[in-house]
Amino acid sequence: MITIIYPYRDREESRVKRSLDSLVRQSNRDFKVVFIDYGSVFATATTIKELTQNYDFVTYLYSYHCHQPWSRAKVINIGLQHVITPYVFVADVDMIFSHDFIEKLKQIQNPNQAVFFKVGFLDQNESVQFKSFDQYKISFFSQVGAKGLSLFPLEALNEIHGFDEFLHFWGAEDEDVHNRLENAGYQSLFYDQEILMLHQWHVTYRKGESKELSQDLQLTNITRINQEHLLDSNKGKLTIVNLKKWGKSISKTEYEVLENSTETFFIGNRKESISHFLFVTLPNFKGGVLNVIFQKDDFQNSLKYHVKKCLGKTVPTYYSLKEINDKVLLHLISFYRDCNYSYIVGSDLKSIQLKIKKD
């Protein structure tokens, strides 16, 4: 049997249905799906959970990463904790599978080899259609550098501690895991003999990236940072990552610990205040929940501030909330990604709230 992991958060129901329907039509039914919801809003989670209950091969699991940035690496690793089959395929809710997909995986599987696949991409109009696999019109194909849809021996992934959980938002996690498997002595094969999967269109992370603060969590230049991390790992011939914990989900109880924390303190946007928080307050805090709201210093908008600045007198220097967002998020994913935390940009875009539990 093969386990298919579906990483998921807040995608439309019709997209998921097209993907799961294509698995219903498989010629070989020796598979199961572990569907990991990485903190979708509760209404969406309820809808998707109800949808997955229509498929007897799907196990739906919800992790309360509701107010954390997306990390495909972490979602996959959570899924790996629930896999007991010798082989695991890492999927995507964008995928529509050919009817013989599982049968092909069975033929290809090899304990010493990871396999990634050539994929056909659909345009926006074609993606919303419900058709049989061979009736879809393909716009273009993935190349050898795209390694996101892969079949792995489970033992190999466990040996290298899964996907690198430093990697958040978008990019590098798939290439990284294949590189580390090769460093560990496994082969990596590109299967391009035929098209077994079609990719449903969606806006890419890069196109959706904004230079302004938004409620949709974003981190400036994260794709470049992820690529730099990938280059550094390659240079060091890295194999094992996630040396402390990996694949940890967040329970409802842990989520409620943060939700019920009400004692808050405020930090203004002076540069020295932010630096002190990141390098003194945050690392030294332990034994509870730290609840902080970042907001603009009232003095920055005062007449006194602007007069002193125009006269060339000494005035405080400030970060924008977007700059604070980028600094705090990068700190969280670099040093505190194993902690239970919640990070929310206010609906008026005038504040950022961080709650983090540290033992």
Q: What are phi and psi of 148, to 5 degrees?
A: -70, -25
Q: Are 4 and 31 in contact (CB under 8 A)?
A: yes
pLDDT of residue 98: 97
Q: How far apart are CA 5 and CA 241, in angstroms?
A: 20
Q: How far apart are CA 26 and CA 35, in angstroms?
A: 18
Q: How far apart are CA 42 and CA 46, in angstroms?
A: 6
**Range list of H helices, the chain:** 13-24, 42-52, 72-80, 101-108, 124-127, 154-159, 173-183, 205-208, 222-235, 252-259, 271-276, 282-284, 303-310, 321-335
Name residue, tokens 């006269």.
311
Q: How far apart are CA 313 and CA 103, in angstroms?
A: 74
Which class is domain 262-357?
alpha beta
Residue closest to 169 by CA, chosen among 352, 343, 348, 355:
343
Spans of all domains in the chain: 2-236, 262-357
Q: How far apart are CA 15 and CA 339, in angstroms?
A: 32
Q: How far is CA 68 from the centre of its chain?
A: 9
Q: How far apart are CA 40 and CA 67, in angstroms?
A: 9
Within 8 A by CB and 6+ apart from 301, the residues are none
Render each residue's pLDDT in the chain as its tens digit; 359 residues: 999 999 999 999 999 999 999 999 999 999 999 999 999 999 999 999 999 999 999 999 999 999 999 999 999 999 999 999 999 999 999 999 999 999 999 999 999 999 999 999 999 999 988 888 999 999 999 988 788 899 999 999 999 999 999 999 988 999 999 999 999 999 999 999 999 999 999 887 666 678 899 999 999 999 999 999 999 999 999 999 999 889 999 999 999 999 999 999 999 999 999 999 999 999 999 999 999 999 999 878 887 877 888 888 887 899 999 999 999 999 999 999 999 999 999 999 999 999 999 99
pLDDT of residue 206: 62
Name residue, tokens 């049989």.
132
User: How far apart, in Å, are the Cα atoms of 148 and each of 117, 212, 223?
Assistant: 8, 29, 15
Within 8 A by CB and 6+ apart from 7, the residues are 36, 38, 72, 75, 76, 79, 90, 91, 92, 93
> Among positive and negative, which fits the CA dihedral 189, 194, 195, 197?
negative
**Tokens representing 13?**
């129901």
AA identity, residue 129: Q
Residue closest to 97 by CA, chosen among 2, 191, 20:
20
**Tokens representing 45?**
């989670």
CATH number for region 2-236: 3.90.550.10
Name residue, tokens 């990463």.
65
AA identity, residue 96: I
Strand 2-8 and strand 120-121: the pairing is: unpaired
Length of the chain (residues): 359
Q: How far apart are CA 143 and CA 115, in angstroms?
A: 14
Q: Are 178 and 188 in contact (CB under 8 A)?
A: yes
Q: At what angle do helices 173-183 and 72-80 cross, to 10 degrees?
A: 50
Strand 197-199 and strand 113-117: the pairing is: unpaired
For 35, left (φ over 0), alpha (ψ -120 to 50), or beta?
beta
Q: How far apart are CA 3 and CA 109, in angstroms?
A: 12
Q: How far apart are the first and last CA of the chain?
A: 40
**Tokens representing 70?**
């997306």
pLDDT of residue 303: 79
